[in-house]
Chains A and B, each alone.
Chain A
Amino acid sequence: MKAHLTRRYRFSASHRLHNEAMSAEENAAVYGKCNNPYGHGHNYIVEVTVSGQVDPRTGMICNLVNLDKFVKQEIVQRYDDGNLNTLEEFQKLVPTTENLCVEIFDRLQKGFHSAKVEKVRIEETMMNSFEYAGGRELVR
């Protein structure tokens, strides 16, 4: 039997949306308040969905301890209480939550092999969220 498991994690980080390829006026027009040079921050919520066959011996898709360990070490510790703009992956990429979603999905897919990584969903605030399934259409 194939099932999906979703786990929610939290981290807080600051960022500034600014693209060097655009003029100061364009940046201000595109990003508005998010272009403030001093930055601002969010309490991000990351939902990680994995899928797989339920192991008849353990009753689990994968051991939650392994998923928690991976996400805490590779994602939460990397982004929590930091400034996204200072990180390597955002030197040439604007740290929008769209880009953050893709980045986190790729990190999971590359390093977590105990189950299939289906989707990453990030709530930037209670009012907006982003989902990425490796470029696939969301069917569910």
Chain B
Amino acid sequence: MIYLTRRVEFSASHYYHSPEFSDEENRRIFGKCNNPHGHGHNYVLEVTVKGEIDSKSGFVMDLKQLKDIMNREVVEALDHRNLNKEVPEFAEQIPTSENIAIAIWNRLTPNLRLAQLHRVRLYETADLFVDFYGEA
């Protein structure tokens, strides 16, 4: 088993608000992130896939293919977007880094055939990141 990681960057805005909570609760739980005008991040996404090395190509998977899938499924959908308003997953869900990492996993996994998705790591800032391994 060998692991391959590819990194990509995208910038997006979001805000945290749950209709299940009152305005006061939303402010208390989400603090500054509850500002209705939103705020943004330069997200850094690291996608790790795993598999066996193909004896002919010497690849675990074609890096170009992984790059294309990441660009199509993630960057085109999320880059320079308002996550709350423009990304269907976040019509109902709060676009926290936890939920964004899960959404990215769900977008990538049906597109991978030879290699298997191992980890989605999403940096919200250089000092804060979330890892999702597809665990229930």
Instruction: Please list the residues of chain A having a beta carbon within 8 angstroms of any beta carbon in chain B.
Output: 1-9, 49, 54, 57-61, 63-65, 140
Q: B128: which of A1, A2, A7, A63 is its contact (CB, 8 Å)?
A: A7
* A22→B95 CA distance, assembly (Å): 55
> How far in angstroms is the closest Cβ of chain A from B121?
9
Tier of interface size on chain B: 20 to 34
Contact A1 B132 (CB under 8 A): yes
> How far in angstroms is the closest Cβ of chain A from B78?
16
* A25→B101 CA distance, assembly (Å): 53
The answer to whether residues A57 and B131 also contact, given A1-B136, A2-B136 and a CB cut-off of 8 A, is no
**B43 at interface (Cβ–Cβ under 8 A)?**
no
Residues 101-118 of B at the A interface (beta carbon under 8 Å)? 101-102
Contact A4 B95 (CB under 8 A): no
The answer to whether residues A3 and B128 also contact, given A57-B21, A59-B16 and a CB cut-off of 8 A, is no
Contact A5 B126 (CB under 8 A): no
Q: A59: which of B96, B126, B127, B132 is its contact (CB, 8 Å)?
A: B96
Q: B29: which of A4, A5, A54, A63 is its contact (CB, 8 Å)?
A: A63
Which B-chain residue is minimally distant from A2 (CB atoms)?
B135
Q: A140: which of B95, B99, B102, B133 is its contact (CB, 8 Å)?
A: B133
Q: Which residues of B contact A8 (CB under 8 A)?
A: 126-128
> How far in angstroms is the closest Cβ of chain B from A65?
6
> How far in angstroms is the closest Cβ of chain A from B83?
11
Q: Which residues of B contact A65 (CB under 8 A)?
A: 31
* A85→B93 CA distance, assembly (Å): 48
* A49→B128 CA distance, assembly (Å): 10
Q: Which residues of A contact B102 (CB under 8 A)?
A: 1, 3, 54
* A73→B129 CA distance, assembly (Å): 21
Q: A7: which of B21, B93, B98, B127 is its contact (CB, 8 Å)?
A: B127
Interface centre among B20, B21, B99 (most CB of A within 10 A): B99
* A61→B132 CA distance, assembly (Å): 12
> How far in angstroms is the closest Cβ of chain A from B26?
10
Contact A3 B130 (CB under 8 A): yes
* A27→B132 CA distance, assembly (Å): 44
Q: Which residues of A contact B44 (CB under 8 A)?
A: none
* A4→B101 CA distance, assembly (Å): 10
**B81 at interface (Cβ–Cβ under 8 A)?**
no
Q: Which residues of A contact B133 (CB under 8 A)?
A: 2, 4, 140
